[in-house]
Amino acid sequence: MKAAPQIAFSAFVAFYGFPVSLFAQGAQAPAQRQQPEFIRQGQQLMREGKLEEALALYRQTLQSQPLSLPGNIAAGNVLDLMGKGEEARKYFQKAIEVAEKPEQKASANRSMAMSYAFEGNCKKTVEYEQKVLDYFAAAKDFFQQGEIADEAARVCIDSGDWDTALHWYKVGHDTGLKEPDIKPARVDLWNFRWEHAQARIAARRGNLAESQDHITAAKTILDKGTNPEQAAFFPYLKGYVAFYGRDYKTAAEELSKANQSDPFIQCLLGQTYERLGEKDKAVESYRKAAAAIAHNPPAAYAVPFAKKRLASS
């Protein structure tokens, strides 16, 4: 886990909580290992939009295996996607209690953090992400501490708490850079993420000139070519800033170049199309976002928002 790949925060394991990078180099994410059959079946049901059936399957399994860590986390995940956070957190609390290994407890705590993220609760998300961060601090894994801090920040910016978001993005940036013998490409990654974050927060505060300065700085870092996989996050940034700058035409153009599988992008496109008066496109985007089954910050924002928009359309 000491040399995790440089991945984006949208790439999280849907059912077990941790970013894929947490299990790199010799350790696989639990979702990538041999999964219990009931988890595979449940995932398929969820992909088909059958959340109630997936939940029934997980609950049936938990009747005979009440201490199942994957069973409790999977049930909680489905309930969050259904908008039943209070009930979901009973399963996550059980997962925290039955976790035998520190990394399992950290995974369960992260699931609890994401449950609060589905309700836009920055404070409680940070409370549980801190437990995960403490786990990686004990392991002296600076990269993963940075990732978790950034994840907490992402939830807070989406919930509208920009001061807290800025704080945790800075913690993520500064902690990540403490990695021993850090490579220049990793330094560029953290600096790119920091400029990206500052640009978005400035846009939310209405400081568009400041946003543009950070966009320019982010592009300069990206143009070094040290982190080519981050290129997809640049049109997302430009579209995001354009949206909050009320330049909806540019927002639509840029967001259409971003990752179209990301529920947050789908949701922001839906909002953009609404502003442009293109109702059919907005509804299509919201339907895609509402169908997400991940348990991560993009889905935590997009699924509840998109479902609410669809219900009122």
Residue range 197-216, pLDDT digits in tens: 999 999 999 999 999 999 99
Mean pLDDT of 131-138: 97
Query: What interhelical angle do 142-159 and 162-176 show, nearest 10?
Result: 170
What pLDDT shows up at residue 3?
33
Using a 10 angstrom Cβ sphere, with 0-12 exposed, 13-18 middle and 19 or more buried, the burial of residue 203 is buried
Residue 19's SS3 state is strand
277: its two tokens? 């008066």
Contact 285, 267 (CB under 8 A): yes
Pick from 156, 154, 132, 155: nearest CA to 144: 132
Residue 13 has pLDDT above 60, yes or no: no
Place of tokens 């400041």: 210
pLDDT tens, position by position, 250-307 = 999 999 999 999 999 999 999 999 999 999 999 999 999 999 999 999 999 999 999 9
When pLDDT is cut at 50, 70 and 90, the band that residue 11 belongs to is: very low
Mean pLDDT value across residues 89-99? 97
pLDDT given at position 2: 32
Is the pTM for the entire model greater than 0.75?
A: yes
Averaged pLDDT, 162-166: 98
**Looking at residue 27, what DSSP letter applies?**
-
pLDDT of 34 reads 72
Ranges 10-19, 163-172, 206-215: which has the least confidence: 10-19
Judged by DSSP in three states, 68 sits in coil
pLDDT the model gives residue 56: 97
The one-letter amino acid code at 182 reads I
pLDDT at position 206 is: 97
Give the helix ranges, DSSP H, for the chain: 37-47, 51-64, 69-81, 85-98, 102-117, 122-138, 142-159, 162-176, 184-204, 208-222, 233-244, 248-255, 263-275, 279-290, 297-312
- Under DSSP, the state recorded for 97 is H
- pLDDT confidence of 33, banded at 50, 70, 90? low
Q: Which CATH class is domain 10-119?
A: mainly alpha
How far is 150 from 286, CA to CA, in rounded Å? 26
Here the tokens at position 74 are 């999977």
Residue span(s) of the chain under CATH 1.25.40.10 come to 10-119
Confidence check: pLDDT of 15 > 80: no
